[in-house]
Amino acid sequence: MSDTPPVSDRPCDVILDGDRLRLAGHLTIDALQTFDRAAAAELARRAVVIDITETDAVDTAGAWLLVALAGQGQGGRADIHGASSHQSQLIDTVRANMPPPEAGSETTGGMNDRLARLGGRIHGGAGAAVELVSFLGQVVATIGGIILHPRRLRLTSVVHHCQEVGWNAVPIVTLMSFLIGVVLAFQGAAQLSQFGAEVFVVDLIAISILRELGILLTAIIVAGRSGSAFTAAIGSMKMREEIDAMRTLGLDPVTILVVPRVLALIVMLPALGLIADVAGLLGGAVMAWVDLGVSPAAFQARLVGNTDLWHFGVGMIKAPFFALIIGIIGCYEGMKVGGNAESLGRLTSTSVVLSIFMVIVMDAMFSIFFAVVGV
Amino acid sequence: MADAPVIRVRGLVTRFGRHVVHDGLDLDVRRGEVLGVVGGSGTGKSVLLRAIVGLLRPAEGQIEVLGQSVRDTPPDAYRRLRRRWGVMFQDGALFSSLTVRQNVEAPMREQLDLPPDVMRTLAGIKVRMVGLPEDAQGKYPSELSGGMRKRAGFARAIALDPEIVFLDEPTAGLDPIGAAAFDRLIRQLRDALGLTVFLVTHDLDSLHAVCDRVAVLADRRVLAIGSIADMLDVDHPWVREYFHGPRARAAKIMPPEPA
Ligand SMILES: Nc1ncnc2c1ncn2[C@@H]1O[C@H](COP(=O)(O)OP(=O)(O)O)[C@@H](O)[C@H]1O
Ligand SMILES: [Mg+2]
């Protein structure tokens, strides 16, 4: 076009000369940063001709400015004079691509609008819940089909995921649970010793760990660790159309991707819960010994003699349900990922938050249930 | 000054480990021309493009764009230089979490300080210029067809009115009508915006329709450069096969054989 450097600090001058609006200098996107459009439009209102003989560079942004100014001119259309053939070609191209006149008028606010949005959200939420339940049904039906035809099970995949979600989580679960046992014993001892009832610390630890904390905290850790990993893995496959490719090849993504993950969780979460129980009791016992002088033998005797086995049973019964919640939500959110990277991130965090929330809701429902049946 | 090439490559050597992609490659691109770069798959067309725009550091050689060395400029000068070209990558490389209009606004937002309504209007003009429908502006890349994504990538590449645009196989994967429309678009915008175009392509129709000159990459260098007519006389098996084959005849590069 021209040899002048396009990056320039030179402002574009606007001079009104009778009914002639003269523009001089650089008419480029850089000049537009400091250009006073309102003032120029005010001058343009009195112009019949816009003269750009003195401009030395015009780019698309400059051409847009010219077209916009010309539209402000007398009679709604001032003439643009002094353009080189390149410049007038550019101006014509821009004129042909100007925004349609009524564009840009979005209505926002208003009571009706807000109501409509609220309604839309509720409708969307309800729809998502229905979809989640139907996804659960689909997975359960597929698992049922696999029980009838065990050869359809991807055993290698199940074992792989067992290692991922179970075995690899053992250190963190053990450590966490041990520390919870320690904390419980310490806090419990501080309160109970006021009544000289130190020995009840064993009951406190046993009941709270076995019945609630062991499995609940394990489920929360697994949701954060594996639920998010499920969503991210399935979501990025969805993003790259691998899931669609599977479907066209006659492979069922639920059988191949979802069932092994869910089964692995159902198998491994109770096992992790058991480990957490043992580690928690151990932590409690150590702290009771150090802090209260309850010897390991006394701890064991009181634990075995005084704790109903049902406390352990209640904890373990919950494990497969928590596993199902984490697995289904993790995979479902992954399947919902669309074509962009942002939805992957958003749904991964949704998956973790939602599965932890649902685990706690489920736990509360179990508490009510067990209270009613009296265990 | 008018005769100085806008892109000047001398003795370029690029390698990945022990795999040598270019070995002593020379290339000149003239101001205002559309240069078609052809070559078999894996001959290093995309790598050449990446080296010229400074995304990849060559092992040896000089690369000058608009008279400035790309390799040895301080970061500040490189940033100013970079504003003077636009790149459209092979697969569009649109930002997937932004709409088409936001994609085109992205370079303006990063490089300039413009009021939002101006950015919006300018981005809209660019999107319309590349022939995308009005409702495409608010769509995300995943909601567009392949051809529309390429157009959107082109719109982003010309967002700041660069002097040079690099296009990596813009018509690959488009239907013939879409490809022909894209060719027309390149020519039209070249004329309107005074662009210099570095066009990597496999498409003989494209070469025929838009390119002023053609550079053939083979044997790790630019084997031949010149008009399409010049290419017909080059004596090299790949070039012969490419410009004399049945597809070339279909693209009317070769006169039809007498029956
Ligand atoms: N990042 C990379 N690492 C290793 N090898 C690469 C890389 N990028 C490209 N190559 C190799 O360089 C060669 C040229 O690639 P490319 O320029 O993409 O080919 P094309 O001409 O088809 O665009 C190929 O053999 C490719 O394998
Ligand atoms: Mg390539």
- DSSP single-letter state for residue A31: G
Which positions in chain A touch B141 (Cβ < 8 Å)?
339-340
Among the bound ligands, the one closest to the CA of B44: 1
The residue-averaged pLDDT of A103-118 equals: 73
Closest by CA to B25, choosing from B5, B51, B3, is B51
Beta strands, E only, chain A: 13-17, 20-27, 49-58, 79-81
Q: Which amino acid is at A119?
A: G
CB contact (8 A) between residue A341 and residue B96: yes
Any CB–CB contact under 8 A between A33 and chain B? yes
The residue-averaged pLDDT of A12-22 equals: 79
CB contact (8 A) between residue B193 and residue A1: yes
The residue-averaged pLDDT of A144-168 equals: 91
List of residues 6+ apart from A339 with CB closer than 8 A: A239, B96, B140, B141, B142, B143
The residue-averaged pLDDT of A174-190 equals: 92
The residue-averaged pLDDT of A165-180 equals: 95
How remote is the CA of residue B48 from the centroid of ligand 1, in Å?
9
Q: How many CA atoms lie within 13 A of B228 on its CB side?
A: 22
Among the bound ligands, the one closest to the CA of B89: 2
Cα A220–chain centre separation: 17
For helices A60-72 and A85-96, the axis angle rounded to 10 degrees is: 70
- The per-residue pLDDT for A163 is 94
Whether residue A126 is predicted with pLDDT greater than 90 in this model: the reply is: yes
Which positions in chain A touch B194 (Cβ < 8 Å)?
1, 86
Main-chain dihedrals φ then ψ at residue B23, nearest 5 degrees: -140, 95
Whether residue A7 is predicted with pLDDT greater than 50 in this model: the reply is: no
Interval A40-80: pLDDT, tens:
888 888 788 888 888 888 888 888 888 888 888 777 777 88
Is B200 among the domain residues?
yes
CB contact (8 A) between residue B188 and residue A3: no
Highest mean pLDDT (candidates A10-19, A273-282, A287-296, B106-115): A273-282
CATH number at residue B199: 3.40.50.300
In this complex, which of B96, B125, B160 lies closest to A97 when CB atoms are compared? Answer: B125
Interval A283-331: pLDDT, tens:
999 998 888 888 888 888 888 888 888 899 999 999 999 999 999 999 9
| pLDDT grade for A244, boundaries at 50, 70 and 90 | confident
The residue-averaged pLDDT of B40-61 equals: 89
- The boundaries of the domain holding residue B42 are 33-57+74-253
Is B19 among the domain residues?
no
Q: Which amino acid is at B186?
A: I
Pocket lining for ligand 1, CB < 6 angstroms: B 16, 21, 39, 41-47
Closest ligand 1 atom, residue B47 Cα: 17
Whether residue B255 is predicted with pLDDT greater than 70 in this model: the reply is: no
CB contact (8 A) between residue B192 and residue A342: no
- The per-residue pLDDT for A4 is 39
Main-chain dihedrals φ then ψ at residue B93, nearest 5 degrees: 50, 40
Calculate the alpha carbon distances from B84 to A247, A263, B90, B162 in Å.
Answer: 45, 56, 20, 5
For residue A312, give both structure tokens. 């352990």
In this complex, which of B2, B108, B192 lies closest to A89 when CB atoms are compared? Answer: B192
Query: Cα–Cα distance between B103 and B250 in angstroms, integer?
Result: 37
Ligand 1 pocket test, pick from B13, B21, B43, B200 with the greatest ligand atom count within 8 Å of Cβ, gives B21
Domains held by chain B: number: 1
The residue-averaged pLDDT of A133-155 equals: 91
The residue-averaged pLDDT of A218-235 equals: 94
Burial class (CB in 10 A: 0-12, 13-18, 19+), A84: middle
Closest ligand 1 atom, residue B42 Cα: 19
Calculate the alpha carbon distances from B71 to A283, B51, B52, B56 in Å.
Answer: 61, 9, 9, 9
Dihedral sign, Cα of residue B168, residue B172, residue B173, residue B174: positive
- The per-residue pLDDT for A368 is 93
Characterize the bridge pairing of strands B7-16 and B19-29: antiparallel
CB contact (8 A) between residue B161 and residue A86: no
How remote is the CA of residue B170 from the centroid of ligand 1, in Å?
18
The residue-averaged pLDDT of A139-168 equals: 91
CB contact (8 A) between residue A97 and residue B128: yes
Question: By a Cβ cutoff of 8 Å, what residues of chain B touch chain A?
Answer: 1-2, 80, 83-84, 96-97, 108, 112-114, 117-118, 120-122, 124-126, 128-129, 134, 140-143, 158, 160-161, 163, 188, 191-194
The residue-averaged pLDDT of B181-193 equals: 82
Interval A19-44: pLDDT, tens:
788 888 888 888 888 888 888 888 88
Is B136 among the domain residues?
yes
* Arithmetic mean of pLDDT over chain A: 86
The whole-angstrom distance between B89's CA and the closest CA on chain A is 18
Whether residue A209 is predicted with pLDDT greater than 80 in this model: the reply is: yes
| pLDDT grade for A159, boundaries at 50, 70 and 90 | very high
Residue with token string 């600090």? A9
Tell me which H or E stretch contains B101: helix B100-111
Residue with token string 């006169």? B255
Burial class (CB in 10 A: 0-12, 13-18, 19+), B12: buried
Find, in chain B, the residue whose alpha carbon is nearest to that of A59.
Answer: B161
- The per-residue pLDDT for A10 is 55
Determine the CATH number of domain A7-101.
3.30.750.24
- Where along chain A do its domains lie? 7-101, 133-373
Whether residue A224 is predicted with pLDDT greater than 90 in this model: the reply is: yes
How remote is the CA of residue B180 from the centroid of ligand 2, in Å?
20
Whether residue A105 is predicted with pLDDT greater than 60 in this model: the reply is: no
> Per mean pLDDT, which range of A266-280, B19-33, B139-153 is the poorest?
B139-153
- The per-residue pLDDT for A109 is 62
- The per-residue pLDDT for B242 is 84
Among the bound ligands, the one closest to the CA of B168: 2
Query: Cα–Cα distance between B232 and A165 in angstroms, integer?
Result: 63
Q: Considering only residues 91 to 110 of chain A, which have any Cβ-Cβ distance to chain B shorter than 8 Å?
A: 93-94, 97-100, 103-104
Query: Cα–Cα distance between B65 and A96 in angstroms, integer?
Result: 32
CB contact (8 A) between residue B96 and residue A99: no
Whether residue B173 is predicted with pLDDT greater than 80 in this model: the reply is: no
- The per-residue pLDDT for A106 is 52
Closest by CA to B231, choosing from B250, B251, B254, is B254
For chain A, give the percent of residues with pLDDT over 90. Answer: 46
DSSP assignment of A303-358 equals HHHHS-HHHHHHHHHHHHHHHHHHHHHHHHHHHH--SSHHHHHHHHHHHHHHHHHH
Is B21 among the domain residues?
no
Contact between B7 and B52 under an 8 Å Cβ cutoff? The reply is yes
